[in-house]
Structure 1
Amino acid sequence: MGKNMNMGIIGAGVVAERVINASNNHPRSNIKAIYDINTDRLREITEKYGLKSVDSYNTLLEDEDIDIIYLAVPPKYHYPIAMDILKADKHFICEKPLANSTDEAKEMYKVAKDKNIVHGMNFPTVYMKAYEKIEELLAEGFIGDLVRVEFQGYFTHWPRPWQQNDWITSREQGGFVREVVTHYIQMTQRLFGNIEDVSSFIDYPENPQISEKSIIARGMVKGVPVLINGVTDVGMEEELCFKIFGTEGSIYLKNWRELWIATKGTALEKLDIKEENHLVDLLDNVFRAIAGEEAKIIDFEEGYKTHMIIEKLLGEE
């Protein structure tokens, strides 16, 4: 079964709480300690889950018993902390996006590549059963020849009610392109290859500190169009849909988990997919990779390539 894995978490926000719950549901995972600059939030989460806190993230990096660091701070702070984690030669899971700029992401990837460590990212959809079924359908030739990939995202509010923090609506770090579209760029490139020839029409509010209101964009993957359409503050319930169109069949991934398929002349049919906790699967894959076993890891190279496309979409390259 393998040895137990001790984890240190940097950042005590919503994501950290999800990681804690996933760790509690994995028989080999143990959270040794957690750090956050916000001492009130740190006290709240450690008391809630019975965890130990530390007063510096360097304490986690210096602890020889800690196998893995999970970095769950806002994107602006990924790079400086990540470089310290890499210097400490700790196995490393990073939240997305990888960094706050392509240059930072590239350096993180290059340094991690030269280290004898496992470096992975939390792109949750890839660890879901619906995604595994998409891979299976594509391998079977269900869609025939690929003719188009689309992502549509309609947001009732941005930020959403559960994402009230200082950075999620900022133009520097936040916005739905960085926070949501990132997932679907990563999936597209993992399934079909690198997106090229990106053109983007993006609408920003008058306030230069606030993130985008809408985007219409196009890229190409292996000669096939990739279309992106997103808008905030619409009068409807939030809806996300990732669409793969082929000459023989089509696949829709709706709202992260719902998988629908159709063939020529048939209506979309919802498949019965039983989802599990994707973070438990992520941890399990990281543990297997550390043991030298075959594992599904979204590494920093994939994160860097995803970040390049996001900056092109935002007009920041």
Structure 2
Amino acid sequence: MTKLRLAVIGLGHMGKHMIHRWIPQFAGQVELAALCDNEEDRLHREAEAAGGSPKLYTDYRTMLEEVQLDLVYIAVPPSMHYDVARIAFQKGIHVFCEKPLANNLEEAKHLMELGEQSGRLHAIHFSFPLDPEVLKLKELIDEQAVGPIKSMNLYLEFPQWPRAWQHNPWITTRHEGGYLLEVGIHWIHMIQQVFGPITQVMSEIEYPTDGRQCESRVRAIMRLHNNIDIHVSGTDHRVGEERVSLVVHGEKGTVALENWSNLYMGATEAEMSPVPPAEEEGRLPIFKQVLRILNGEPGQIYDFCDGYNAQVVLEALRKPGEGFTDIRAQLLQAAYK
């Protein structure tokens, strides 16, 4: 089997995860051909730790011009996604991009169009809907284990933002940071996959006095296509440990996905017991699915159409209007599986 030639652009948390964990798992299928990061010390340090002999660059434009590639993994800040992916598509390179798809809705729409026109794979790194706990949650919802859904609560609550392991120059900025963008986007996409389209959004956002900083408090309602409301509570001043959770209230009980991977169900929110996750062959990491598809095998990914649909909701949350904003005209129904 001829190995796929991969470049990784951006060596923050996710870029390092790719080169130190995922690539070694699939060493028989992929070759790390090039690395790019704007911090030269980090570039050389991580390249040495990864081993092999990738070409090293501090400018992704030069790298994409000079290196023969099959696939690029984009793990740079959101404001750079558009330019990197655009050039990659022009070069005929498959693209695997971190979330969110872009830094605004216009860029996301154009990237989706470029991806569709390119004839190349365009995958966004959404994996949450394929987690065993989420698969079990979907099974419970489909079986109406708690009866018809009445309402939901989404908690994005942090004692501080950023979290201790996240410090970088952009993650606290209003331009391309904040917990709505970094964390909320995962839950938006998962909700779209499990419960169907979010069609209306109403939000109130409080910001620090420093106009450059991201949101501090969020109160919002995301209304589903079937008029079920998801009440969103976000803060960076939570007392105690962070809570990133979805609680689903049904007519016969409650099911909750607490802190990403702990599933509970009970007659009331106060009387819930743990629920074992789904038992099936793991489909994660998404990188495995990307490689399967590029090797001509069946695989499941979320593409730039999914990324665009999630961005529609994200931008409606981040830019409040008067009352509910109806986003149905912007959504791509074809992206819902």
Q: Does the pair score TM above 0.5?
A: yes
Kindly tell me: are residues 300 and 265 of structure 1, through their superposed partners in 2, closer, same or farther at Cα, counting changes over 3 Å?
Answer: closer
In the alignment, the residues of structure 1 paired with residue 250 and residue 298 of structure 2 have an alpha-carbon distance, to the nearest angstrom, of: 31
Q: Deviations over 1:53-80 (max 9, x none)?
A: 422434346533x321100000111111
Kindly tell me: are residues 168 and 199 of structure 1, through their superposed partners in 2, closer, same or farther at Cα, counting changes over 3 Å?
Answer: same
Deviation at 1:272, TM superposition (A): 3.6
Q: Deviations over 1:212-266 (max 9, x none)?
A: 1010001211211111101112221111111223333432111111111225799
- Give the one of 107, 120, 144 matched to 2:110: 107
1:84 aligned residue: 87
Deviation at 1:274, TM superposition (A): 9.0
Deviation at 1:308, TM superposition (A): 1.3
2:98 aligned residue: 95
1:269 aligned residue: 273
Asked whether the 8 Å contact 2:4–2:70 carries over to 1, the reply is yes
- Give the one of 147, 154, 162 matched to 1:159: 162
Asked whether the 8 Å contact 1:127–1:281 carries over to 2, the reply is no
Asked whether the 8 Å contact 2:158–2:236 carries over to 1, the reply is yes
Kindly tell me: are residues 133 and 5 of structure 1, through their superposed partners in 2, closer, same or farther at Cα, counting changes over 3 Å?
Answer: farther
Kindly tell me: are residues 188 and 274 of structure 1, through their superposed partners in 2, closer, same or farther at Cα, counting changes over 3 Å?
Answer: closer
- Which structure 1 segments of 5+ residues have no match? none
Tell me how many residue pairs correspond in the alignment: 314
Asked whether the 8 Å contact 1:78–1:99 carries over to 2, the reply is yes
In the alignment, the residues of structure 2 paired with residue 264 and residue 233 of structure 1 have an alpha-carbon distance, to the nearest angstrom, of: 27
1:242 aligned residue: 246
1:183 aligned residue: 186
Amino acid at match of 1:98: L
The farther-off stretch of 192-201 and 242-251 is 242-251
In the alignment, the residues of structure 2 paired with residue 265 and residue 213 of structure 1 have an alpha-carbon distance, to the nearest angstrom, of: 27
1:251 aligned residue: 255
2:17 aligned residue: 18
Alignment of 1:1-317 (within 5 A): 4-20=3-19, 21-26=21-26, 27-51=28-52, 52-55=54-57, 56-57=59-60, 58-60=62-64, 62-64=66-68, 66-221=69-224, 222-263=226-267, 267-273=271-277, 281-315=285-319
Amino acid at match of 1:103: E
Amino acid at match of 1:118: L
Higher normalized contact order (CA 8 Å, seq sep 6+, divided by chain length)? 1
How high is the TM-score relative to the length of structure 2? 0.86
In the alignment, the residues of structure 2 paired with residue 293 and residue 264 of structure 1 have an alpha-carbon distance, to the nearest angstrom, of: 44
Asked whether the 8 Å contact 1:24–1:30 carries over to 2, the reply is no
3-state SS of 2:138 partner: helix
3-state SS of 2:118 partner: coil
In the alignment, the residues of structure 2 paired with residue 3 and residue 247 of structure 1 have an alpha-carbon distance, to the nearest angstrom, of: 55
How high is the TM-score relative to the length of structure 1? 0.91
In the alignment, the residues of structure 1 paired with residue 186 and residue 214 of structure 2 have an alpha-carbon distance, to the nearest angstrom, of: 18
Deviation at 1:158, TM superposition (A): 0.5
Deviation at 1:110, TM superposition (A): 0.8
Asked whether the 8 Å contact 2:127–2:285 carries over to 1, the reply is no
In the alignment, the residues of structure 2 paired with residue 35 and residue 22 of structure 1 have an alpha-carbon distance, to the nearest angstrom, of: 17
Asked whether the 8 Å contact 1:151–1:243 carries over to 2, the reply is yes
Amino acid at match of 2:16: E
